[in-house]
Amino acid sequence: MLPLLAGCTYYFDTGLDRQLSRRVEERLNRDEGLPLEQVSETPPVSVEQALPKFKEGRARSGRTLPPVKPALSEAEGPVLSGAAEAAESEAKVPDTPPVLKAQPEAGKPSSLKPVDTQKRDNPVQTESGLPSAKTAPVETEGPTLSGVEEAEGKLKSKVQPETSKQLSIAQARTLALENNLDLKIAQVDPKIAATVISQEEAKFDDLIFARVKYGSKNTPAQNLDVITLTPANPDLKGEVDKLTAVPQLTEILEMEAGVVIPLRTGDKITVSAPFDEKNYFRVIPSDQYLSALRFSISQPLLRGGGIDNNVAGIRIAQYEQQAVDVKTRLQAIRVLAAVERAYWGLYVAWGELDVRLQQYENAADNLAMVKKRVAEGLTAAVEINRAEIGVAERMEGLIISETTLKIRERQLKLFLNDPGLNLDSSTLLVPDSSPTLVEFKFDREQLAQRALAGRLELLELELKLAADLTKIDYLRNQTLPMFMLDYSYASLGRSTSSFGGAFDQTTSGDFSDWSVGVRMEMPLTNELRRAQLDRAVQERLQRLTTSQLRELNVRREIYDALDQVGQNWQRILAARQNVLLAGLNYDAELKQFSEGLRTMTEVLETLTRLGEAQLREVRAIGDYQVSIIDLAFATGTLLGHSRVGWDKSAEGS
């Protein structure tokens, strides 16, 4: 009994690599998350904790670098030493400033009122927690230049949003999984792959056939062959006679029903039951009923023989389906990573717009202050022109930042494809999630091994290699000659009264017809099948080399992503320190301007440096988020807090 069960199991088993199939199932059922805190060798370090150490001096990487400029002399002093002393001596600047907030306040409109007609009751503080870089609040006196008023009027007409929508990173992922068109396109691929499996399995469907034929023949008399009789009567022996067919009317009814059963061993079994009825009229009327039960089997012995060769198409289709499932999961991860990059790109755009707005307002306050001092006779009138130039320059940057915001917002809307968010709608998307501003220390080799085990591209390539091996085995069998064993048997019956009598005689087994034979076919050169086999072997060798190259690329991507994470973290610290020092410098220049020691041009230069430092900090924060996303993607996952699952029913598996 056990051997019978084992044989049945082997007959219906398509022979997939069980270990590989188990790995695919485990990988598809695994949570797509990279737990940063767990893979970090040390506890995460915040910007506030890392900044004091960064001020002391950036740690060396341990790499051998080419010769650089000799060390500074004592007269030159260490780099940034003067700025650091100024920062330490300034009591109102904290050692650990708050995190720069790149997005605007919830529901904060981006429209601008004319600077010279509004009152500034409260000085604007920088989003990075810097001390206010503005003068005391004053009211504007006197008209402004017509060019500035006209530009401000145009700017105001452009940035009047109707509504705003707070959007967290989790909400963005959810909307993308539900509505993203790239994902919907990818989800059709598993359904298509499933139809290929059904198509291959249908080759072993049983075929039921039936035929009915009715005919009538009215033949005249016909001369037949001349014969020599060999009768039992010796008197007639040697007589030569001619046969003549008499005129005859014949009606014929032929029927047959049966089934063809293809087996996974390559056999083809046919079982049928033919029935014939012939009715003769004229001269000697007679009826004849014939029936039979036929059984035949054809067994390939070389080419096309065996279960493995006949289920090769099913096995290859199943490997392809698993590869498509993996590819679909990879597309989901790729889309979600693109959504997260677009989200933080929008975050950076909001931050840049906020910085540009602060720059514009600071320049406008300076213009108001200069006009007041000119009216009081404390400053030369030329300073008004300089201040006007500063306002106009910052207005251009503000307009560019607003357009950049719209473009990045539209890109995110395209990924989300939310029916309530048209690409050109006036609804503003405001990022609501805070960036991850902590430093992680990763084991480079551990992450590389994690990537080699988790990258879906490598798993997809492994499935294709398994399919290639099955294809090579099948094509190797096809190079053999065709050697077919045929056997047929029929039990016959006849009656002159009815089909029932003929069938009774058939089941009695008194009359039979059987045969057994062998057929052989082989091409003279067999070049076609040998060429197909050689091509499959070369394709597999090519794919093996591709697998090695892809593993190297995975390692390179991991190491590049780790270096980018480290670089962007250092950029955040450098930019934060730069913002602190630039803010102190701007306040000092503004104070010296009020004392008549500096011109407005010099003040605006320090204001520009402050804005550039703030922009670098915003961009460094955004790039740091993107680099963490790239690191997770390089390992074949998403960020640990994403918790993205995948419903296999959506794949059509």
pLDDT for 79? 31
pLDDT for 605? 87
Q: Are 205 and 184 in contact (CB under 8 A)?
A: no
Element containing residue 209 per DSSP (H, E): strand 207-219
Q: Are 463 and 570 in contact (CB under 8 A)?
A: no
In this model, does residue 189 exceed pLDDT 50? Answer: yes
- Alpha carbon 280 to its chain centroid, in Å, reads 75
Percent of the chain with pLDDT over 90: 43
pLDDT for 83? 33
Question: How far is residue 440's CA from residue 568's CA, in Å, rounded to a whole number?
Answer: 12
In this model, does residue 28 exceed pLDDT 90? Answer: no
Instruction: Out of 44-58, 129-143, 259-273, 337-351, pick the least confident.
Output: 129-143
Q: Tell me how many degrees the CA angle 579-580-582 measures, rounded to the nearest 5.
A: 60
Cβ neighbourhood burial of 8 (10 Å; 0-12, 13-18, 19+): exposed
List the domain boundaries for the chain: 36-60+77-191+317-465+543-651, 208-306+482-524
The Cβ-side half-sphere exposure at 9, using a 13 Å CA radius, reads 6
In sequence order, what E strands does 355-422 have? none
**Using one digit for the tens of pLDDT, what is the confidence trace for 307-328?**
999 999 999 999 999 999 999 9
Record the tokens describing residue 479, joined without a space.
Answer: 């190079």
pLDDT for 119? 33
152 vs 291: which has the higher pLDDT: 291
Instruction: Out of 114-118, 149-153, 403-407, pick the least confident.
Output: 114-118
3-state secondary structure at position 449: helix
**Using one digit for the tens of pLDDT, what is the confidence trace for 160-186?**
445 888 999 999 999 999 999 999 999
In this model, does residue 107 exceed pLDDT 50? Answer: no
Neighbours of 21 (CB within 10 A): 15
Average pLDDT, the chain: 79
Q: Strand 45-46 vs strand 427-431: parallel, antiparallel, or unpaired? A: unpaired
pLDDT for 8? 60
Percent of the chain with pLDDT over 70: 77
pLDDT for 338? 93
Q: How far is CA 270 from CA 263, 484, 505, 508, 519, in A?
A: 11, 15, 22, 21, 18
pLDDT class of 375 with cuts at 50, 70, 90: confident
Question: How far is residue 388's CA from residue 392's CA, in Å, rounded to a whole number?
Answer: 6
Residue reference for tokens 């199943």: 318
Helices 81-89, 527-594: crossing angle, 10 deg rounding? 60
Q: Are 414 and 393 in contact (CB under 8 A)?
A: no
pLDDT class of 497 with cuts at 50, 70, 90: confident
Q: Are 247 and 283 in contact (CB under 8 A)?
A: yes
Record the tokens describing residue 221, joined without a space.
Answer: 């008399």
Q: Tell me how many degrees the CA angle 309-313-318 measures, rounded to the nearest 5.
A: 125
Task: Using only the alpha carbons of the chain, give its radius of gyration.
Answer: 44
- Looking at domain 36-60+77-191+317-465+543-651, does it have CATH number 3.40.50.2300? no
In this model, does residue 245 exceed pLDDT 50? Answer: yes
Q: Are 571 and 620 in contact (CB under 8 A)?
A: yes
pLDDT class of 96 with cuts at 50, 70, 90: very low
pLDDT for 236? 63
How many residues are listed for the chain in this entry? Answer: 653
**Using one digit for the tens of pLDDT, what is the confidence trace for 532-590?**
999 999 999 999 999 999 999 999 999 999 999 999 999 999 999 999 999 998 888 88
Q: Are 568 and 627 in contact (CB under 8 A)?
A: yes
pLDDT for 130? 30
pLDDT for 45? 82
481 vs 28: which has the higher pLDDT: 481
